[in-house]
Amino acid sequence: MLLFKKKFMDAIRSGEKTQTIRLWNHCRMRTGQRSYIPGAGYIRVLSIEPIEVDALTDADAVPDGFESAEKLRAELNTLYAEQLAAGHQAYRIRFELMSPEEQQQARAERQEKKRRTQEAAKD
């Protein structure tokens, strides 16, 4: 699951925001993985790559929903001050919102998995 601030939800749902930068002590996702964004739905992870925050360009900032690399770095510094100080790696995660049909299928698969888990717990 990927969590986002509410201010990014419209851009994610419209397909304008197609990436996020996260700082982790190790990579927590993989290319091809399906994940969920509360308020937006299921996404498909298209790629993940380690990046250097200081090397981000304006072209990097736009698919993240920012006008400039300076504004993106300022947001990262606000959100991830502790992780930056601890030397965590920054990762660029590119994603796409799944189609309505894929969303429906993903919800059905999740419900089925939950049902099987509950049945197994009864045994």
34-37 and 19-24: which strand pairing?
unpaired
- CATH code, 6-98: 2.30.130.30
* Model pLDDT, residue 90: 96
User: Phi then psi for 45, rounded to 5 degrees?
Assistant: -80, 120
pLDDT tens-place string over residues 88-111:
999 999 999 999 999 999 999 999
Question: Is residue 29 scored above 90 in pLDDT?
Answer: yes
Under the banding of pLDDT at 50, 70 and 90, the label for residue 2 is: very high
Name the token pair of 55. 């090397």
| Predicted local confidence at residue 123, as pLDDT | 73
The span from the CA of 14 to the CA of 3, in Å, is 17
Strands 41-51 and 34-37: antiparallel
Average pLDDT over residues 50-54: 95
Per-residue pLDDT, 122: 86
